[in-house]
Protein backbone atom coordinates (compact mmCIF):
# COMPACT_ATOMS: atom_id res chain seq x y z
CA UNK A 1 0.00 0.00 0.00
CA UNK A 2 1.31 3.43 -0.94
CA UNK A 3 1.55 5.54 2.20
CA UNK A 4 2.88 8.94 3.23
CA UNK A 5 3.29 9.99 6.85
CA UNK A 6 4.20 13.53 7.88
CA UNK A 7 5.86 14.35 11.18
CA UNK A 8 7.69 17.16 12.93
CA UNK A 9 4.87 19.62 13.45
CA UNK A 10 4.32 21.53 16.67
CA UNK A 11 4.23 24.91 18.36
CA UNK A 12 7.04 27.30 17.46
CA UNK A 13 7.68 31.00 18.08
CA UNK A 14 7.81 33.51 15.24
CA UNK A 15 11.25 33.76 13.68
CA UNK A 16 12.22 30.23 14.68
CA UNK A 17 12.75 27.16 12.49
CA UNK A 18 11.11 23.77 12.14
CA UNK A 19 11.77 20.76 9.92
CA UNK A 20 8.98 18.52 8.72
CA UNK A 21 9.50 15.00 7.42
CA UNK A 22 7.44 12.94 5.00
CA UNK A 23 8.13 9.20 5.23
CA UNK A 24 7.08 7.22 2.17
CA UNK A 25 6.40 3.52 1.77
CA UNK A 26 4.85 1.15 -0.75
CA UNK A 27 6.54 2.59 -3.85
CA UNK A 28 10.00 3.38 -5.27
CA UNK A 29 10.48 6.81 -3.73
CA UNK A 30 13.28 7.87 -6.06
CA UNK A 31 11.03 7.48 -9.11
CA UNK A 32 8.75 10.34 -8.08
CA UNK A 33 8.75 14.04 -7.35
CA UNK A 34 7.28 15.12 -4.03
CA UNK A 35 5.08 18.07 -3.22
CA UNK A 36 4.31 19.96 -0.03
CA UNK A 37 1.00 21.72 0.58
CA UNK A 38 -0.73 23.44 3.48
CA UNK A 39 -4.13 24.49 4.75
CA UNK A 40 -4.33 27.42 7.14
CA UNK A 41 -7.24 27.50 9.62
CA UNK A 42 -10.46 28.31 7.79
CA UNK A 43 -8.68 28.55 4.42
CA UNK A 44 -8.30 26.38 1.35
CA UNK A 45 -5.43 24.26 0.07
CA UNK A 46 -2.21 26.06 -0.88
CA UNK A 47 0.78 24.69 -2.75
CA UNK A 48 4.06 25.22 -0.84
CA UNK A 49 6.67 23.67 -3.10
CA UNK A 50 7.92 20.70 -5.07
CA UNK A 51 11.11 18.68 -5.54
CA UNK A 52 11.70 16.74 -8.73
CA UNK A 53 13.16 13.26 -8.81
CA UNK A 54 16.96 13.03 -9.07
CA UNK A 55 16.93 11.89 -12.69
CA UNK A 56 15.24 15.21 -13.49
CA UNK A 57 17.84 17.11 -11.50
CA UNK A 58 16.17 17.04 -8.09
CA UNK A 59 15.37 20.71 -8.57
CA UNK A 60 12.87 22.60 -6.46
CA UNK A 61 10.11 25.16 -6.97
CA UNK A 62 8.43 27.24 -4.27
CA UNK A 63 5.38 29.38 -3.79
CA UNK A 64 6.18 33.08 -3.59
CA UNK A 65 4.89 33.18 0.00
CA UNK A 66 7.65 30.84 1.24
CA UNK A 67 10.46 31.34 -1.28
CA UNK A 68 13.73 32.16 0.45
CA UNK A 69 12.47 30.86 3.83
CA UNK A 70 11.50 27.25 3.11
CA UNK A 71 13.69 24.53 1.59
CA UNK A 72 12.61 21.13 0.32
CA UNK A 73 15.07 18.25 0.18
CA UNK A 74 14.95 14.50 -0.18
CA UNK A 75 16.86 11.43 0.98
CA UNK A 76 16.07 8.67 -1.49
CA UNK A 77 18.02 6.11 0.58
CA UNK A 78 15.55 6.64 3.44
CA UNK A 79 12.46 7.39 1.29
CA UNK A 80 11.94 10.69 3.12
CA UNK A 81 11.19 14.19 1.90
CA UNK A 82 11.88 17.18 4.13
CA UNK A 83 10.48 20.67 4.46
CA UNK A 84 12.88 22.99 6.29
CA UNK A 85 11.00 26.07 7.45
CA UNK A 86 13.03 29.08 8.62
CA UNK A 87 12.00 32.57 9.74
CA UNK A 88 8.52 31.32 10.51
CA UNK A 89 5.64 33.79 10.60
CA UNK A 90 2.26 33.55 12.28
CA UNK A 91 0.68 33.25 8.83
CA UNK A 92 2.59 29.98 8.31
CA UNK A 93 0.27 28.35 10.85
CA UNK A 94 -1.38 25.48 8.99
CA UNK A 95 -1.71 21.76 8.54
CA UNK A 96 1.10 20.71 6.21
CA UNK A 97 0.65 17.83 3.78
CA UNK A 98 3.07 15.98 1.54
CA UNK A 99 2.03 14.20 -1.63
CA UNK A 100 3.57 12.12 -4.38
CA UNK A 101 3.81 13.84 -7.74
CA UNK A 102 2.78 11.83 -10.78
CA UNK A 103 3.56 13.03 -14.27
CA UNK A 104 2.34 11.27 -17.40
CA UNK A 105 2.27 12.65 -20.92
CA UNK A 106 2.97 16.08 -19.48
CA UNK A 107 -0.01 16.03 -17.12
CA UNK A 108 0.97 16.17 -13.45
CA UNK A 109 -1.11 15.40 -10.41
CA UNK A 110 -0.62 14.54 -6.75
CA UNK A 111 -1.64 11.22 -5.23
CA UNK A 112 -1.76 10.03 -2.55
CA UNK A 113 -1.55 12.58 0.25
CA UNK A 114 -0.51 12.15 3.84
CA UNK A 115 -2.77 12.91 6.81
CA UNK A 116 -0.90 16.10 7.57
CA UNK A 117 0.99 17.59 10.50
CA UNK A 118 -0.06 20.77 12.32
CA UNK A 119 2.37 23.67 12.59
CA UNK A 120 1.39 26.50 14.92
CA UNK A 121 3.48 29.68 14.91
CA UNK A 122 2.71 31.77 17.95
CA UNK A 123 4.48 33.68 20.68
Q: Which residues bind other proteins (CB under 8 A)?
A: 35, 37, 39, 44-47, 50, 61, 63-64, 97, 99, 107-116
SS3 for 29?
helix
At closest approach, how far in Å is the CB of 88 from other proteins? 22
Length of the chain: 123
DSSP assignment letter at 27: S
Radius of gyration in angstroms for the set of CA atoms belonging to the chain, rounded to a whole number? 14
Which is nearer to other proteins, 6 or 92 (by Cβ)?
A: 6
- How many other C-beta atoms are found inside a 10 Å radius of the C-beta of residue 119? 22
Which is nearer to other proteins, 44 or 123 (by Cβ)?
A: 44
Report phi then psi at 30, rounded to 5: -65, -10
At closest approach, how far in Å is the CB of 15 from other proteins? 27
Contacts of residue 68, Cβ cutoff 8 Å, sequence gap at least 6: none
Report phi then psi at 4, rounded to 5: -130, 130
At closest approach, how far in Å is the CB of 123 from other proteins? 27
Which is nearer to other proteins, 42 or 77 (by Cβ)?
A: 42
Which is nearer to other proteins, 80 or 95 (by Cβ)?
A: 95
Amino acid sequence: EVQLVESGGGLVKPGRSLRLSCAASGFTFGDYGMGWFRQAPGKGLEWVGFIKKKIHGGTTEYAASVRGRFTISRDDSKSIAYLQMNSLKTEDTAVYYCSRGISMSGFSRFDPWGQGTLVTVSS
